[in-house]
């Protein structure tokens, strides 16, 4: 499987059950796709569950990465016919060979029931069984050690297991019973590391027969003796039947299990002497494992993302607060502004990178979990802090009172903000501070209701901008007062000097 978000599940007896539990119920599959031989990448992704018709719509994998198909070649040779080959209508026993990159399977199939319940009375095989031995190949740096014929090696074991097993095709099965030898990296000694051997059985039955007595659709159930793998359900349909002889020339298969699906395309390569059945045929099989997202990856993402997310949100909150405070030391120019933006944005880059990486493994379900915690929670905290700072008695209100200004957020929205202190300076005396009288209250319109002390405060944006305008007006008033005092002192100095 590529990608494999739950590789550790391979160590479980029920591997598929492990993957289902960790997917949180978000896995999906569409068995209507890729079941007639024609299969695009989009159809295959929908079949295995990388894409879904509904939520979560995408579980990871394709199209961020290509699909990795498992391919296998299968070869079959008729060993025994139901009657002399010149007059027989079907093969009663045949040899099977399946060869892939990681393993091979060999065995024998036998017809267990023949019928002739058709208009022409032509006999055909209605039920058959197969028994195969599945053996792993020596992979990587493992060395194949072939035993002698006296020890059961060099193909003798298979011939003893399946009497008469002498296929014309050569392969690793000719060297069995071999062993795989691996080397310990520390002691440099060799030890046996394989292969794993299993026995598989298949029970098949014909589902539909033509008027000519040809089975054109059949079903097979494949299982292993130890129960290590899921049961496979195989449906085959004939796509080309020779009209004159009734021989099935081509057929396709749809193979499905809990863990994977496969497609098979088969063709008769050598017909019998009378042309009524196949003596040799080949199949090309390719498949994909079903994809299960792993929501536990969300915990790994949070552990990697949270430190960067805290720094990113902290930097962004600091920049926003400095702008909102209108600090005189905070000068917004091109250079310093770029540095502040970089300080606030740079920590988000690792957050985005890790999110895309694990989105490839966990899909939209993992993204929802991560964003709800790494983005949603900081936004709630920052919003609550922002609102709290601007409430009456909050941070900005306390700062104004500490500077000697009245509160910019009165409890009564109709109250008038007092003017700043004025400094009166005379030529013969010092500065005498005093409070200017409040301006007269404007007359109330007859139709306007009288203001009440219990009226609600204006909305937050209006209060914030009103407070900002009041602060700017107070600052300009202080600067004007300082210039006026400096002018008076200058005139006083000139007067004393003259």
Q: Tell me the sheet residues that pair with 209.
A: 215
CB 317 within 8 A of CB 383: no
> What does the block give as tokens for 425?
């300076």
Instruction: Read off the DSSP letter of residue 352.
Output: H
> What does the block give as tokens for 76?
């079959």
> What local confidence, expressed as pLDDT, does residue 205 receive?
96
Total-model pTM:
0.66
CB 116 within 8 A of CB 83: no
> What local confidence, expressed as pLDDT, does residue 306 receive?
66
> What local confidence, expressed as pLDDT, does residue 347 receive?
63
Q: Which residues of the chain have pLDDT under 50?
A: 150, 327-331, 334, 409, 411-436, 448, 451, 453-459
Give the number of other Cβ atoms within 10 Å of residue 37's Cβ. Answer: 15
Q: Using the structure block, give the residue that is written with the tokens 């319109």.
A: 445
Distance of CA 226 to the CA centre of its chain: 32
> What local confidence, expressed as pLDDT, does residue 428 receive?
44
CA 335, 337, 338, 342: dihedral to nearest 10 degrees? Answer: 140
Q: Cα dist. 111→114, 206, 272, 349 in Å?
A: 7, 11, 17, 64
Q: Which residues of 449-469 are buried (b: 16+ CB within 10 A; e: fewer)?
A: eeeeeeeeeeeeeebbeebee
Q: Tell me the sheet residues that pair with 181.
A: 143, 192
> What local confidence, expressed as pLDDT, does residue 96 receive?
95
The verdict on whether omega for the bond into residue 195 sits within 30 degrees of 0, i.e. cis, is yes
CB 76 within 8 A of CB 280: yes
> What local confidence, expressed as pLDDT, does residue 474 receive?
86
Helices (H), 267-394: 297-325, 334-345, 348-371, 377-389
Angle at 104 between CA 100 and CA 109, to 5 degrees: 120
Relative to beta strand 190-194, strand 260-271 is unpaired
Q: Cα dist. 448→417, 445, 451, 452 in Å?
A: 21, 5, 9, 12
- Break the chain into its structural domains and give their ranges: 7-137+195-289, 297-389
> What local confidence, expressed as pLDDT, does residue 414 receive?
45
Closest C-alpha to 295, from 17, 59, 460? 59
pLDDT tens-place string over residues 366-393? 778 777 776 676 677 767 766 776 677 6
In angstroms, how far is the first alpha carbon of the chain from the final one? 99
Instruction: Read off the DSSP letter of residue 175.
Output: G
> What local confidence, expressed as pLDDT, does residue 165 receive?
81
For residues 25 and 16, what is the distance between their CA atoms, to the nearest angstrom?
13
> What local confidence, expressed as pLDDT, does residue 307 receive?
67
């Amino acid at each position: 499987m590529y990608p494999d978000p739950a590789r550790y599940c391979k160590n479980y007896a029920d591997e598929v059950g492990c993957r289902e539990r960790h997917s949180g119920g978000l896995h999906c599959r569409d068995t209507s796709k890729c079941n007639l031989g024609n299969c695009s990448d989009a159809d295959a992704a929908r079949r295995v569950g990388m894409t879904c018709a509904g939520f979560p719509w995408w579980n990871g994998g394709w199209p961020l990465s290509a699909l990795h198909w498992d391919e296998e070649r299968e070869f079959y040779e008729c060993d025994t016919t139901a009657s002399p080959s010149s007059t027989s209508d079907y093969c009663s026993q045949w040899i099977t060979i399946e060869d892939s990159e990681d393993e091979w399977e060999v065995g024998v199939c036998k017809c267990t029931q023949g019928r002739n319940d058709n208009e022409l009375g032509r006999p055909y095989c209605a039920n058959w069984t197969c028994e195969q031995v599945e053996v792993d190949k020596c992979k990587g740096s493992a060395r194949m050690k072939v035993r002698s014929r006296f020890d059961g090696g060099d193909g003798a074991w298979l011939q003893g297991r399946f009497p008469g097993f002498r296929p014309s095709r050569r392969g690793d099965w000719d060297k069995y019973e071999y062993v795989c030898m691996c080397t310990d990296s520390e002691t440099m000694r060799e030890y046996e590391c394989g292969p794993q051997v299993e026995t598989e059985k298949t029970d098949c039955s014909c589902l539909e027969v033509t008027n000519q007595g040809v089975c054109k659709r059949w079903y097979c159930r494949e299982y292993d003796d130890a129960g290590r793998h899921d049961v496979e359900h195989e449906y085959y349909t004939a796509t080309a039947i020779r009209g004159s002889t009734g021989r099935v020339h081509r057929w396709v298969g749809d193979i499905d299990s809990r863990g994977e699906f496969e497609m098979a395309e088969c063709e008769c390569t050598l017909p019998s002497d009378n042309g009524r059945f196949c003596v040799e045929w080949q199949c090309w099989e390719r498949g994909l494992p079903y994809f299960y997202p792993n929501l536990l990856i969300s915990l790994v993402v949070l552990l990697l993302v949270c430190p960067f997310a805290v720094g990113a949100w902290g930097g962004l909150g600091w920049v926003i607060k400095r702008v909102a405070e209108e600090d005189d030391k905070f000068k917004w120019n091109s250079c310093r502004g770029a540095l502040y933006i970089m300080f606030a944005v740079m920590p988000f880059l690792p957050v985005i990178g890790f999110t895309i990486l694990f989105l490839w493994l966990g899909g939209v379900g993992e993204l929802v979990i991560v964003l709800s915690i790494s983005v949603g929670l900081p936004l709630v905290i920052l919003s609550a802090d922002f609102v709290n700072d601007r409430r009456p008695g909050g941070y900005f209100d306390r700062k104004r009172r500490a500077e000697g200004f009245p509160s910019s957020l009165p409890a009564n929205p109709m109250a008038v903000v007092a003017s700043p202190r004025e400094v009166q300076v005379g030529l013969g005396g010092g500065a005498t501070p005093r409070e200017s009288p409040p301006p007269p209250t404007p007359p109330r319109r007859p139709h306007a209701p009288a203001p009440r002390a219990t009226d609600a405060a204006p909305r937050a944006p209006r209060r914030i901008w009103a407070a900002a305008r009041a602060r700017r007006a107070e600052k300009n008033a202080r600067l004007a007062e300082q210039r006026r005092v400096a002018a008076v002192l200058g005139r006083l100095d000139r007067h004393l000097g003259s």
